[in-house]
A and B are shown apart, each in its own frame.
Chain A
Amino acid sequence: MTQAAISPKELSVQAATRLRPIERTIEFGLLLAAIFSVFITAGIVYVLFSEAVPFFRHPDVSVWKFLTDTEWTPLFSVKHFGIMPLVVGTLWTTVIALLVAMPVGTIIAIWLSEFANAKVREIIKPVLELLSAVPTVVYGYFAITVVAPAMQPVYTWLAEAINSVLATVAPGASPIATELPLFNMLSAGIVMGIMIVPYVSSLSEDAMRSVPMLLREGSYGMGANRLTTAVRVVFPAALSGIAASYILAISRAVGETMIVAIAAGQQPNLTANPAEGGATITAYIVQVSMGDLPHGSLEYQTIFAAGITLFFMTLAFNLMGAWLRKRYRQAY
């Protein structure tokens, strides 16, 4: 009876006033969750700076020495704090990984997008993505038990060939080692490359598939075949997405830890030969963390100095990726 006395308008006003506080509270709660991600970034930046600044203030260390000293021996009695050997180790493994992942990933992406039929694509793509789902510690094990031993004869053959060329071109030059050590940056890099193939193939394939059919039809209409269309029309049209996939692959490779910690050896090594062992920034952080360093010591702070270097390297790549996406974006 009383309910019938309330007009629909009043009812809706009542409902609205009853709901509003809950709605507001929920919206506020969701907002807090979204803001939380900003706190994580703030936390990362805060920790890296607050631990790395005292490191650089230390009388034995300076930013200049950090960037130019060619030795990194914070755990030895004669301490050198030059990040370069670690940066070079990181770059070597990254470059090798990219030499594997970029061509392989790109070709697979073109094949999936332009040649394979839809059914094959739907199956192959998720199966390939399993490659990047394998835990990296398993990949590390794989690198030292399978890849490094398998590389041995290939490397020996290659090194002998290089040496014989060297002997004729520059007789005075010292020959390179023909023996591949078990722990080397080459096999770690190759395994890392296999791991990041799906990043390149899946994202590049997405980018190429979103190129409108019209462009392909135009190309076919001009008499081009599939490969020409793929390489000359679809690939350039999807370049922003493809470049972004490369950048993501680089940033994954730079930050990859366990494969290099297990398979590359852990000796910082400023070298031009990736077949030697070496340490990356990430491998050094793991090496120190496995030990027992007192909080606040200079050695403890080195991992944050290394971390901040790594953070800026990946940040630079990520920003470059975002810029590329924006700069070369083709809107259809």
Chain B
Amino acid sequence: MLSTEQVIRRGQMRDRVFSILGVALTILCLGVLAILLVNLCREGLARIDWQFLTTFPSRRAAKAGIFSAWVGSALVMLVTGLTAIPLGVAAGVYLEEYGRRNWFTSLIEINIANLAGVPSIIYGLMALGLLIYKWEDWFGDKTDSIAGLGQSIITGGLTLAFLILPIVIVATREALRAIPQHMREAAYALGASRWQVVKDHLLPYSTGGISTGVIIALSRAIGETAPLVTIGALTYIAFLPPAPFSHTESGQMVGPFAWLSSPFTVLPIQMFNWVSRPSSDDNNFAVNAAAAGIILMLVTLTMNTVAIVIRARVRKKVKW
């Protein structure tokens, strides 16, 4: 039979042991992240220079660069952002501020929850089947290349936009829900219409929350590889998409949106390509992969840090 004191001491002991276990596991996880970063830097940091950022891929590892890859990533993100942000915010506003509770809105809600759980590669298959092949079947005049979306920047951007749409919608809804009801009531009492309430009050107040969600969503999109591989983004691109109003070799001026239908590659695909290539000491693609990985990590970690800072600021500043 244990005395009360022994029971208490044993309990405290267990608490302490568990506490140490919790700290240890947390440190272990962060340690893995640290090892990953250190390993990347040790392998690839020396490879990053101006030449690496401004040359096209090459068969010679030492001469290869990520010019077409980061330009491709930036342009695809432009399309993704311009599609997903307005669509997602609009859908979030509708569901939170306009939608009445009925079977129809709950259908949309269940649908969004399910979409958030669909693997990214399925979006790639959808885009391949729908945006590339079915689109061509339905609208494609085989002689007119613009009619088909093809394996282009716009297809890639739209694919990733579909993928992050649920994240943007959920973030918008949460940010709107955090605004207390009396703010709306005050605006209505002064005669504001519903749209005026949304436009002049709710959206400005929720900008912080929405942008946190948007940045996190875009940082996820920028690291996505699988859906873009599926739609056939190429791995070897030795040219840039045509700049608006530039001239082709035959002297023709291209339109302002010609870049949208250009073939492309993105940073993670370039890295995947280098990772899966056999490398030898004198043709070391693994070093290139590590260098591309550093750039990729730099971009995603920066975006996530910005998101964390905005979120912390919003939480601290806003006291309703």
Residues of A participating in the B interface, judged by any CB pair closer than 8 Å: 12, 15, 19, 22-23, 26-27, 29-31, 33-38, 40-41, 43-44, 46-48, 50-51, 104, 107-108, 110-112, 115-116, 122, 124, 126-131, 133-142, 144-146, 194, 197, 224-228, 230, 248, 251, 254-258, 261-262, 282, 285-286, 289-290, 295, 303-304, 307, 310-311, 314-315, 317-318, 321-322
Contact = CB atoms under 8 A, between A and B. Distances in A.
A142 B123 contact: no
B104 to A, nearest CB: 9
B223 A248 contact: no
Contact of A48 (B125, B229, B308): B125
A2 to B, nearest CB: 21
Q: Interface of chain B, helix or strand or loop or mixed?
A: helix
A311 B123 CA distance: 10
Contacts of B224: 135
A69 B314 CA distance: 56
A36 B29 contact: no
A257 B121 contact: yes
B268 to A, nearest CB: 5
B39 A225 contact: no
6 contacts: A30-B91, A48-B125, A127-B30, A141-B40, A285-B124, A303-B125
Most-contacted residue by chain B among A12, A40, A135, A255 (CB, 10 A): A135
A257 B18 contact: no
Interface string B80-122: 0000001110110111001100000101101111110111111
A30 B27 CA distance: 45
A107 B22 contact: yes
A30 B90 contact: yes
Contacts of B111: 37-38, 41
Q: Interface of chain A, helix or strand or loop or mixed?
A: helix
A35 B99 CA distance: 11
A213 to B, nearest CB: 18
B276 to A, nearest CB: 7
A197 B29 contact: yes
B87 A33 contact: yes
B275 interface: yes
B95 A133 contact: no
A19 B193 contact: yes
A318 B89 CA distance: 24
Contact of A307 (B107, B108, B122, B297): B122
Contacts of B152: none
A27 B193 CA distance: 12
Given A33-B87, A41-B111, A133 B130 contact: no
A41 B25 CA distance: 38
Most-contacted residue by chain A among B15, B33, B108, B226 (CB, 10 A): B226
Interface in B41-80: 43
B155 to A, nearest CB: 13
Given A40-B162, A134-B223, A225-B12, A255 B119 contact: yes
A307 B125 contact: yes
A136 B119 contact: no
B105 to A, nearest CB: 8
A291 to B, nearest CB: 10
Given A47-B126, A256-B119, 18 more contacts: A23-B193, A30-B93, A33-B88, A33-B90, A40-B162, A107-B21, A110-B22, A115-B15, A135-B296, A140-B275, A141-B40, A141-B290, A141-B293, A142-B39, A227-B15, A282-B226, A310-B122, A311-B122
